[in-house]
Chain A
Amino acid sequence: MDVRNNRRQAGGSSVVTANRLLDGRIVWLAEDGVWSDRIDAAKVFANDGPQGGSERGSEGGSNGGIESVIAAVAARQQADGVVGVYGVQLRDDSATPVPATVRERIRAFGPSVHPEFAPFTEATTNVR
């Protein structure tokens, strides 16, 4: 998937996102590898340092750096029923997860031109 405008920095924290395979809807990686359609359920990871991730492959590795988590999750995306796994940089001034870029805020909170389509006003359905 072509993903632009979702740059991440060296510091700060991130969440992991993808689209659900069956309906394309946006999901966020929550605790214990569950995918939620609400960003406020997303698990927050500290970004990797300049060295990059720690060892790869740890299953959803809560201790792993963000890059290794993304790699692990991407490796099991078919089993999880998602596509296009990537990390989203968060603002560091908010108590709940708020993405740093407009693009990711629109993904998280719905199209600004249809407030009634915001994920927070819809029934939630977790997959997996």
Chain B
Amino acid sequence: MSAEAETLADAAPALPVGHYAYDQVDRAFLHDRVEQFRDQVARRISGALSEDEFKPLRLMNGLYLQLHAYMLRIAIPYGMLDSRQMRELAHIARTYDRDYGHFTTRQNLQFNWIRLEDTPDILARLASVDMHAIQTSGNCIRNVTCDQFAGAAADELVDPRVHAEILRQWSTLHPEFSFLPRKFKIAVSGSPHDRVAARFHDIGLVAKPGHGGKVVFDVFVGGGMGRTPLVGVHLRDNLPEEDLLAYLEAMVRVYNEYGRRDNIYKARIKILVQALGAEGYRARVDAEFAAMDRARYRLPPETVAAIRARFGTPDLAAPAGAAESLAAARAADRAFDRWARTNTHPHRHPGYVSAVISLKPDGGIPGDATAAQMDRIADLADRFSFGEIRITHMQNIVLGHVRQDQLHALWQDLRAVGLATANIGLIGDIIACPGLDYCSLANARSIPIAQKLSARFASPELQETIGDLQIKISGCINACGHHHAGHIGILGVDKKGEEFFQLTLGGSAGNDAAVGQILGPALPEDATVDAIARLVDAYLVHRNTGERFLDTYRRLGAALFKDAVYAVA
């Protein structure tokens, strides 16, 4: 940190921990934007604007018309919230919606039962806590996502939030990139262990220290799911921090210029990268990069430091015996011990741990939280984690910095509100998109399958025996539920107006990113859960000791699993 940034940080002790502190310029901008939308809504209601004219305007403010009502998608930039913001979200859920909200794989929050009339007021309430719904929709650079353990993880090399914030500022209302051929998604990781699915994004960035400790980036491009699932191409290594914006500008500019606009399914950068080939795309980006006014896009260290200084940082100080105290609590309480094993992540600071709050109760709706739970999570964040809350792309919640000697108390409080399910990374930790229960694009329901599976595998002992197994469910080919990247993927398909489910096996979102392979014909709704249970049984029978499902599948291939699923008398 530069001396200047250090003084800035000292001068403003009340910065929110974990995310960027807005100033009056940011606030005035949001306020103007809310009033602009208020006027647009009034003109829509009066009929001065037709639906066709209004639709792009409401989408620019995150407002969709879904199956049952309007849906509002609120951005949670790089997944970071503070307790005050969470309480406001709870208030909105209670006042304007049906008492719950839905956390998504894009680190957003969706409300499903919003009234058009109320939306300007809701946006004003969000603005009052420095939140908005800008760029949660539309053909622009969407909410930049990052690692849920940013700034806390033991394996982290660079804190990716600062660069995610820089990209947020760079991309917000970027005049050249407000009307791209399609939506555009960027994820940033600062750890060598990919927890952001960098290889499944339009652009994935992995930050690391380069020569002299200066931050550099490995760049992936052209990954994505949807109807053409592709693992991103490794475009280059060691992109200097100073050139980050210039290089991304060149990357997106090439896409904006050459990306197809005649067919929305082919309008993604992944299609362009495939069409040009990695070499062809790289050559165009390099040419653009060489030709552009680099000084204009230079990201100097002082700017990075100034942005970093607007992040509040926790004052980490755990008592010397914290680790021993945690070990004693675990030894004394088996249920707590299990939760501590599955639902925590190693912290870089001794005496601390990151705690994951599962939003996947047995038989529950993945990602849903009631207003009361949101309030409670805010309270617990204040008590145990500096008021800081993170949303994960697995639809769970993280308290980043929990003292080890306080973890047991946290767990007891979570248990009291039904938020202590010990299933992170296990078969119960299912990602499911909203599917046909809410989404107007869906072909089949995702949530009931997730509910039935998590109820079926509710036993914590069984879940731990099965081990690391990621089930991901999408209700249509758009793949919001990441089914292509699931160890077991489930895709809803429509056959003559009825729901069917297609299974894919072998996908992965991590460093070993892979697109799952279709196992065979789609199954009717009432056969799907049983089929998956047989598939899991086949794995348990055939695995080697300690082997993950994914590795057994990779070792043995599909035939065995195909038999388990389809060969029923």
Interface residues of A (CB under 8 A from B): 1-5, 7, 19, 21-26, 78, 83-84, 100-103, 106-107, 110-114, 117
Contact with A along B117-158 (1 / 0, CB 8 A): 100000000000000000000000000000000000000000
Q: Are A102 and B65 in contact (CB under 8 A)?
A: no
Q: Does B369 contact A (CB under 8 A)?
A: no
Q: Are A107 and B67 in contact (CB under 8 A)?
A: yes
A-B contact pairs, 5 of them (CB 8 A): A5-B494, A26-B67, A106-B445, A111-B438, A113-B445
Interface residues of B (CB under 8 A from A): 44-45, 47, 50-51, 65-70, 98, 113-117, 365, 436-438, 440-445, 447-448, 451, 494, 497-499
Q: Are A113 and B437 in contact (CB under 8 A)?
A: yes
Instruction: Quote the shortest CB–CB distance from B432 to chain A (angstroms).
Output: 10
Distance, CA A113 to CA B499, complexed state (A): 15
From the candidates B98, B116, B436, B498, name the one contacting A117 in the complex (CB within 8 A). Answer: B98
Q: Are B47 and A78 in contact (CB under 8 A)?
A: yes
**If the complex has contacts A1-B440, A21-B116, are A110 and B494 also in contact, measured as CB distance less than 8 A?**
no
Instruction: Quote the shortest CB–CB distance from B202 to chain A (angstroms).
Output: 22
Tell me the nearest residue of chain A to B114, going by C-beta.
Answer: A24
Tell me the nearest residue of chain A to B117, going by C-beta.
Answer: A22
Q: Are B68 and A107 in contact (CB under 8 A)?
A: yes
**If the complex has contacts A24-B115, A112-B445, are A1 and B65 also in contact, measured as CB distance less than 8 A?**
yes
Q: Are B497 and A19 in contact (CB under 8 A)?
A: no
Cβ contacts under 8 Å, A19 to chain B: 65, 69
Taking A102-B436, A106-B445 as known contacts, 4 extra A-B pairs with beta carbons closer than 8 A to each other, sorted by chain A number, are A24-B66, A106-B67, A111-B67, A114-B437
Tell me the nearest residue of chain A to B364, going by C-beta.
Answer: A113
Distance, CA A85 to CA B447, complexed state (A): 27
Distance, CA A113 to CA B366, complexed state (A): 11
Cβ contacts under 8 Å, B438 to chain A: 111
Tell me the nearest residue of chain A to B98, going by C-beta.
Answer: A117
Instruction: Quote the shortest CB–CB distance from A22 to chain B (angstroms).
Output: 5
Q: Are B499 and A102 in contact (CB under 8 A)?
A: yes
Q: Are A26 and B436 in contact (CB under 8 A)?
A: no
Distance, CA A22 to CA B365, complexed state (A): 28
Instruction: Quote the shortest CB–CB distance from B220 to chain A (angstroms).
Output: 30
Q: Are B69 and A23 in contact (CB under 8 A)?
A: yes
Nearest 5 interchain pairs by C-beta: A101-B497, A24-B70, A24-B69, A111-B437, A23-B115
Tell me the nearest residue of chain B to A25, going by C-beta.
Answer: B69
**If the complex has contacts A23-B117, A24-B70, A113-B365, are A4 and B45 also in contact, measured as CB distance less than 8 A?**
no
Instruction: Quote the shortest CB–CB distance from A68 to chain B (angstroms).
Output: 21
Cβ contacts under 8 Å, A22 to chain B: 45, 115-117
**If the complex has contacts A22-B116, A24-B66, A84-B65, are A112 and B437 also in contact, measured as CB distance less than 8 A?**
yes
Tell me the nearest residue of chain A to B434, going by C-beta.
Answer: A111
Instruction: Quote the shortest CB–CB distance from B362 to chain A (angstroms).
Output: 15
Distance, CA A19 to CA B442, complexed state (A): 17
Q: Are B441 and A2 in contact (CB under 8 A)?
A: yes
Instruction: Quote the shortest CB–CB distance from A89 to chain B (angstroms).
Output: 8
Distance, CA A100 to CA B98, complexed state (A): 28
Tell me the nearest residue of chain B to A100, going by C-beta.
Answer: B497
Instruction: Quote the shortest CB–CB distance from B529 to chain A (angstroms).
Output: 15
Distance, CA A23 to CA B98, complexed state (A): 13
**If the complex has contacts A24-B116, A102-B436, A103-B442, are A83 and B65 also in contact, measured as CB distance less than 8 A?**
yes
